[in-house]
Amino acid sequence: TSVSAGYLADEAATLQLGSQLASALLGGLQLQLDGDLGAGKTTFTRGLLQGLGYSGRVKSPTYTLVESYPLPALTLHHFDLYRFNDPEEWYDAGFADYFADDTVCVIEWPDKAAGVLPAPDLVLKLSVDGDGRSYRLHAHSETGHLCLKHFMT
């Protein structure tokens, strides 16, 4: 199967989803985070980093556009493209160089670089649902399928 879905009752559940996915991550993977402002994209990324063993502060990259976390196994680049006015800014900022075999790129607001970003391996859609959030995780590539398979077992 290529989809995993569920309900996240509170912030702790969003963090847990992130830390659960962390152990299934593979180098070279691009994960796009879809969802409105406040859907939990940054919270999820915080969980991902916790799961990778990072215990420092995780800032939202809203103003810096990217925050990078060099970890023993891989470097995680956390992008927030909300402030892009034009998809071409992806190239201007040199972000294409952030994709490598030993990095994982997590991207909030990927639509802001539509047509410029490479196709994602995984897409996580988060949406407000009652007091919590619902999520769907889709695999879009061979690497994405491998990751999702590992995540679900």
Residues lying near ligand ADP in the complex (CB under 6 A) are found at 8, 10-11, 13-14, 35, 37-43, 132-133
Strands 30-34 and 122-129: parallel
43 binds, among Mg ion, ligand ADP, none (CB under 5 to 8 A by kind): ligand ADP
Task: Quote the least distance from Cβ 151 to ligand ADP, whole Å.
Answer: 18
Q: Which of 14, 30, 32, 42 binds Mg ion (CB under 5 A)?
A: 42
Extract the tokens encoding 58: 């995780």
Query: How many whole angstroms separate alpha carbon 67 and alpha carbon 78?
Result: 5
Task: Quote the least distance from Cβ 25 to Mg ion, whole Å.
Answer: 19
Query: How many whole angstroms separate alpha carbon 25 and alpha carbon 88?
Result: 28
Residues 44-83 binding Mg ion (CB under 5 A) are 60
HSE of 62 in the Cβ direction (CA atoms, 13 Å)? 6
Determine the angle formed by the axes of helices 11-22 and 41-51, rounding to 10 degrees. 50
Strands 122-129 and 103-108: unpaired
144 binds, among Mg ion, ligand ADP, none (CB under 5 to 8 A by kind): none
Task: Quote the least distance from Cβ 124 to ligand ADP, whole Å.
Answer: 11
41 binds Mg ion (CB under 5 A): yes
Of 102 and 129, CB closest to Mg ion? 129
Q: Which residues pair with 97 in a beta bridge?
A: none
Task: Quote the least distance from Cβ 54 to ligand ADP, whole Å.
Answer: 16
Extract the tokens encoding 95: 């972000």
Residues near Mg ion (CB under 5 A): 41-42, 60
